[in-house]
Structure 1
């Protein structure tokens, strides 16, 4: 078995690594503590489409596994070159659902030394909440956070407590829909490029969210004010890039920006009007994401239809950032010994 990535044990500034193996992407983030957050030292992201064909077969295909293994090998190489104090690696919806998910992760460990841990939908929502807490502000009573992934969509309903210039967040409830950009793209295909097909997806998603809305009285809370809507996913960052008319995607301009309803709706309409060729040529989309943008926009449109918060806060952050913050905070609190626990 290959050696696990070499990790820093003493001397030098501590670095931490977080790896997220999703249904559509494989992402790695390496950061060092800086103030109340962290400074990015290195990152990696590659579309691997691990969940391709999963809805039809219930299994991860060999081709999809090979793509993911190639990306994970690149992550392992980065970790060999830049030792870290601690590593967390997680796998999400594709590995949760696939009958051969655990066998694939054993193959990953044998090939790369990495051992991603399959996390629950609740932990996924908690990590997204952790990463987005710094976007909360004084006056926020509640937050509605959504993460449109490749194989599922997680929605978190959050209680906000403010004081001493900072806000804290508590998860009140969450829901995980088995609908993501990959699963929808495979099921609805070209129909999402038509008005009727797009509307059908919007209504399907909205119907699946209605019970969650009733349980938590979210619509009533929105009418009372003080509810922040936060979106973290490629869908909402793409909407922001279009709304801001960026000639190329720039994270510092997107992360934390706010889109009012009119600007977000205009960006969605612009994306829909582009068609396949236009989406492939757009600097904030590109050919690899053409099939996934409109299914993601349909999920977003359903969320906005059911929960019409006037402003969307856009977050270019998610599970990796949440994992890094947990590791850094645990070390600062003395809750983690300096050293590497594989598979943590």
Structure 2
């Protein structure tokens, strides 16, 4: 069957059309997205700005038109931390439904972690043993660990690259003292979760998902995205540690010149690197694999499981 996944994320609103059926990998058929960066389009009280809400409604409407044109049988619409934590989140959801008819399902942070973990588990299989997942989004960091398809622990922290950039790194490039303050903050937040994950035992396999991890891997020497999802990609902590001070000294315009770094995410890359470095250090991860599947694939796989159940 042909499914459409409407992902209202903190950085990007993405409508992905896939051909999928139980027991097979979802095959992407069409992609439509905009870098809306809802996590940064906030008023002083934490409400999403009117221009952000208007663009979101327009994107949902255009996605519905594409779904019809592409023969989509079912649309799976969901929203993550930007809408979940906005002061006017309920109002945003109501407006989207009133103007488009689409009822966005708001995922909790735990849901995000569990569904992303499911996608990673299906991609790598049981041979990975105890799997540790790290996912850096625009609004939050998800951490999950376990032996099965349902993780033994799933944690969400407000450490997304977009959120942190807007709140902590106003300069371009940011001031050194602000970078140090953010580094301390990130490490203190992640350190609170280490005991909960470590009690499960050391992981056999560590993976990172999300655009942030993909871009960090690319600038440290991983293969290009155009080489396809089956090419193994890794992020060594030693290489990342070398890059963090270099990223801190660069402006956004300079970061765009790095391989694989998009203009829309260049400002966020330093915050994402600080989160990735802290997580890998505190969890004692020397190297992780970049997983091509993430939350959207987890949503699709869970839906297919229900169809076949």
Provide closer, same or farther for how the CA distance between residues 319 and 39 of structure 1 changes in structure 2, counting only shifts above 3 A.
Answer: same
User: SS of 1:128's equivalent?
Assistant: helix
Say if 1:43 and 1:191 are closer, same or farther in 2 by CA, change over 3 A: closer
Contact 1:19 1:27 in 2 (8 A): yes
Task: Return the structure number with greater relative CO, CA threshold 8 A, min gap 6.
Answer: 1
Question: Could you tell me how far apart the structure 2 residues matched to 1:252 and 1:100 are?
Answer: 39
Output one character per residue of 1:46-78: Cα deviation in whole Å (capped at 9) or x when no partner: 111222243732211101112222322221221
- Counterpart pick for 2:194 among 187, 190, 213: 213
In structure 2, do the counterparts of structure 1 residues 245 and 330 end up closer, same or farther at CA, with 3 Å as the change threshold? closer
Q: Which of 217, 228, 231 is residue 240 of structure 1 equivalent to?
A: 217
Q: Does 1:178 align with 2:155?
A: no
Q: Secondary structure at the match of 1:57?
A: coil
Aligned to 1:111: 99
Structural RMSD (CA):
2.6
Structure 1 residues 185 and 217: CA distance shift in structure 2, 3 A: same
Superposed displacement of residue 268, structure 1: 4.7
Residue 319 of structure 1 corresponds to 295
Question: Which among 204, 219, 222 is matched to residue 227 of structure 1?
Answer: 204
Contact 2:45/2:87, CA 8 A, preserved across alignment: no
Question: 1:215 & 1:318 partners in 2: Cα distance?
Answer: 23
- The gaps in structure 1 that reach 5 residues or longer are 1-13, 161-167, 334-344
Structure-2-length-normalised TM-score: 0.88
Shift of 1:303: 0.3
Aligned residues: 307
* Contact persistence 1:143–1:228 (CA under 8 A): yes
Q: Alpha-carbon deviations, 1:313-341, whole Å to 9, x = none? A: 112332211111122222223xxxxxxxx
**What is aligned with 1:259?**
235
- After the TM superposition, which residues 191-210 of structure 1 pair with which residues of structure 2 at under 5 Å, given as runs? 193-210=174-191
Does the residue aligned with 1:250 lie in a helix, a strand or coil? helix
Alignment CA distance shift 1:292-1:86 (3 Å)? same
The answer to whether the 8 A contact 2:4-2:74 is kept is yes
Alignment of 1:94-109 (within 5 A): 94-109=82-97
Partner in structure 2 of residue 89 of structure 1: 77
Using structure 1 for the length normalisation, give the TM-score: 0.80
Separation (CA, whole Å) in 1 of partners of 2:218 and 2:114: 26
Contact 1:255 1:314 in 2 (8 A): no
Offset, 1:254: 7.7
From 114, 117, 139, give the equivalent of 1:126: 114
